């Protein structure tokens, strides 16, 4: 494995969500510089060293491009509010197109995206459990997961140095660090819930390892590891 082992300058989208806040706290602790592009800066109530907060639209290529000055990696943890998760949305695909346009304009290639394992509901190679794919799947596919799948494909076709991280349902739990990873849409034997702190831990881990480039990685707790 090729280890970079040096602080990164990160542009973070989705910084005011639960996962985004974990990425900020852990990223700064690891010595990274973090710049957050958010619509509502007042939602970030804690003042951190090495954190810059910029007001702007994370769905607008121009705002993203302006925020990429001095940045060498973009991390997107954008998501819809909890009460909207069952609604149709184009947030993910819209943001993906804007991100790719802005990064190519600025000549920045490294991208890490938080997605979800349920993007595999319609993938013929998916090994998601039978219940998830065939019983729950028809009810949830035409919600945000369909648009997340479009987002993933946009990034995969972009020519950027992308990594996609696919967690299960997320919860606010302390960092445990005992999660398992697997290529694809799910971790065999994986539990249905993952702590946001552990998701953030993996997102930041991918920044120091070139082996994650061009990969979609599922993450989950397992009975063996948790």
Write the pLDDT tens digit of every residue in 161-215.
999 999 999 999 999 999 999 999 989 999 989 999 999 999 999 999 999 999 9
Q: Give the total number of structural domains in the chain.
A: 1
- Quick check: is 80 in a domain? yes
Is the confidence at residue 45, as pLDDT, over 90? Answer: no
- Quick check: is 4 in a domain? no
Summarised one tens digit per residue, pLDDT across range 194-209 is 999 999 999 999 999 9
Is the confidence at residue 60, as pLDDT, over 50? Answer: yes
- Quick check: is 64 in a domain? yes
Share of the chain above pLDDT 70, in %: 88
What is the chain's Cα-based Rg?
16
* Cβ-based neighbour number of residue 19 at 10 Å: 25
- Quick check: is 191 in a domain? yes
The pTM for the full model equals: 0.90
Cα torsion for 203, 139, 125, 154, to the nearest 10°?
Answer: -50
Q: What is the DSSP letter of 177?
A: -
* Domain containing residue 175: CATH number: 3.40.50.720
Give the SS3 label for residue 92.
Answer: helix
Domain encompassing residue 68: 9-220
Contact by Cβ (8 Å): 67, 37: yes
Is the confidence at residue 1, as pLDDT, over 50? Answer: no
- Quick check: is 2 in a domain? no
């Amino acid at each position: 494995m090729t280890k970079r082992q040096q602080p990164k300058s990160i542009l973070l989208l989705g910084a005011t969500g639960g996962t985004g806040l974990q990425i900020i706290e852990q990223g700064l602790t690891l010595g990274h510089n973090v710049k957050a592009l958010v619509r509502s800066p007042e939602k970030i109530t804690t003042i951190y060293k090495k954190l810059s907060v910029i007001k702007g639209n994370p769905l607008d290529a121009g705002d993203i491009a302006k925020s990429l000055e001095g940045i060498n990696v973009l991390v997107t943890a954008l998501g819809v509010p909890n009460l909207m998760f069952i609604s149709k949305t184009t947030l993910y695909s819209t943001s993906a197109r804007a991100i790719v346009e802005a990064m190519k304009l600025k000549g920045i290639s490294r991208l890490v995206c938080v997605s979800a394992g349920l993007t595999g509901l319609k993938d013929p190679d998916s090994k998601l459990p039978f219940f998830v794919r065939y019983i729950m799947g028809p009810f949830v596919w035409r919600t945000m997961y369909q648009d997340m799948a479009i987002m993933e494909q946009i990034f995969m076709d972009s020519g950027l140095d992308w990594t996609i991280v696919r967690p299960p349902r997320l919860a606010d739990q302390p960092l445990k660090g005992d999660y398992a990873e697997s290529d694809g849409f799910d971790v065999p034997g994986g539990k249905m819930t993952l702590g946001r702190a552990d998701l953030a831990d993996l997102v930041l881990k991918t920044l120091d390892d070139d082996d994650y480039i061009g990969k979609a990685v599922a993450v989950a707790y397992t009975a063996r590891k948790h």
